[in-house]
Amino acid sequence: MTPLRCAFVVWIGWLRHFDAAAAWTSRTAWSPGFRSSRDVATGCAAAPADAKSDAVAAVTGVTLKVALDANGAAADRAANESLRFTCGEALDMVHRLRCCSDAVLVGRGTVQADNPSLTVRRTPCDRQPLRVVLDPRLELLRQKTDQGARFALLEDGLTTVVYHTVPDLDEDSLNLLETITVVYVPPTKPSGDNVPHGDYLSAATLTRDLRDRFGVNHLMVEGGPLTARQFLYEHQVDRVILVHASLCFRQPLESGLTEKVLVDAGLEKLGTEPCGVDQIEYWSRPELPWPTTELSKWP
């Protein structure tokens, strides 16, 4: 991509960001319990509940979602603040995916960089997914944002689970809200390269613990790249949704999510479909049917 084209798509990306930010309005409160068929507002076509041919099969397992720039990077190190760089339709899709997930998981790096809420806001949803953070040394619980507050998902009153490897933890000293649960998991030996520097939490152990302890049957892994790669290396991912935006970052943070990495993780590419001005690549474990007949109908 030429520098001129790059500059143009970055400018378009900024315009899209403001458009998307303006659309982020309603918040849905946590209300545990049975979730009915989703009522999808706008965006990438989602399966209407009453259309037999487009019926959504029950979704279980692990779905990884990552957004990439034109060169496959996951974030721009040059950005002063975290910006959404995918189109409104792709953001709607992400919120629908969160809505049909029992839990949404990220690594410590994503919370530190983006201070995300990981809630469903862009589509009606009758419960919020559990938020799950991998923070082996529990650094996030002791840190504050630049504004001096705790990270959003630690103080918004919705449920968050933080997995760590700190033995003999004095939980009282952390002064946590009742909505925060910290879970100790013994560290294990990491697989693959580019692994976290500190203690390693096995993705297989986490997936099992989330299912057994919290009833998580469908887990959405939302990043960042390091967390995503660990789940892939351990063959814990059942399907992948890659959102390709056309802008290019000035100082790209490589995702490392190449086709080879996905194939080595036991996944096969099902196809690519447009979503607004972005493109979505769909991958799945070969033996698993996609939840809908048409790829773009789910999520």
Ligand X SMILES: NC(=O)c1ccc[n+]([C@@H]2O[C@H](COP(=O)([O-])OP(=O)(O)OC[C@H]3O[C@@H](n4cnc5c(N)ncnc54)[C@H](OP(=O)(O)O)[C@@H]3O)[C@@H](O)[C@H]2O)c1
258 CB burial (10 A radius; 0-12, 13-18, 19+): exposed
User: In angstroms, what is the minimal distance from the CB of 109 to ligand X?
Assistant: 2
Contact flag: residue 108 with ligand X (CB under 6 A): yes
Residue 20 or 75 with smaller CB distance to ligand X:
75
User: In angstroms, what is the minimal distance from the CB of 74 to ligand X?
Assistant: 4
Count, residues near ligand X per rule CB under 6 A: 30
Q: Which stretch binds ligand X (CB under 6 A): 56-64, 107-115, 166-174, 265-273?
A: 107-115
What is the CA 165 to chain-centroid distance, rounded? Answer: 22
Contact flag: residue 136 with ligand X (CB under 6 A): yes
> Alpha-carbon distance 223 to 240, whole Å?
12
Q: How far does the chain reach from its first CA to its final CA, in angstroms?
A: 31
Q: What's the residue count for the chain?
A: 299
Contact flag: residue 276 with ligand X (CB under 6 A): no
Cβ neighbours of 172 (radius 10 Å): 7
Q: Which of 6, 90, 113, 154 binds ligand X (CB under 6 A)?
A: 113
Residue 89 or 114 with smaller CB distance to ligand X:
114
Cβ atoms of 33 and 191 within 8 Å: the answer is no
Contact flag: residue 224 with ligand X (CB under 6 A): yes
Q: Which of 75, 132, 210, 265 binds ligand X (CB under 6 A)?
A: 75
> Alpha-carbon distance 283 to 241, whole Å?
7
- What track of x and - describes contact with ligand X for positions 14 through 53 (by CB under 6 A)? ----------------------------------------
Q: Which of 43, 109, 276, 299 binds ligand X (CB under 6 A)?
A: 109
Nearest alpha-carbon partner for 129 in 38, 23, 255, 235 = 38
User: In angstroms, what is the minimal distance from the CB of 170 to ligand X?
Assistant: 19
Check residue 252 and report its DSSP letter.
E
Cβ atoms of 245 and 67 within 8 Å: the answer is yes
Contact flag: residue 223 with ligand X (CB under 6 A): yes
Residue 230 or 284 with smaller CB distance to ligand X:
230
Cβ atoms of 98 and 118 within 8 Å: the answer is yes
| Residue 174 CA: distances (Å) to CA of 16, 117, 161, 163, 170 | 39, 20, 14, 14, 7
Site for ligand X in 141-160 (CB under 6 A): none
Residue 48 or 196 with smaller CB distance to ligand X:
196
| Residue 147 CA: distances (Å) to CA of 41, 115, 277 | 33, 11, 34
Contact flag: residue 299 with ligand X (CB under 6 A): no
Contact flag: residue 137 with ligand X (CB under 6 A): yes
Neighbouring residues of 102: CB distance < 8 A, sequence distance ≥ 6: 129, 130, 214, 215, 216, 217, 218, 219
User: In angstroms, what is the minimal distance from the CB of 141 to ligand X?
Assistant: 12
Q: Which of 66, 132, 180, 241 binds ligand X (CB under 6 A)?
A: 66
Interface positions with ligand X (CB under 6 A) = 66-67, 74-75, 82, 106-110, 113-114, 134, 136-137, 139, 196-198, 200-201, 203, 222-227, 230, 253
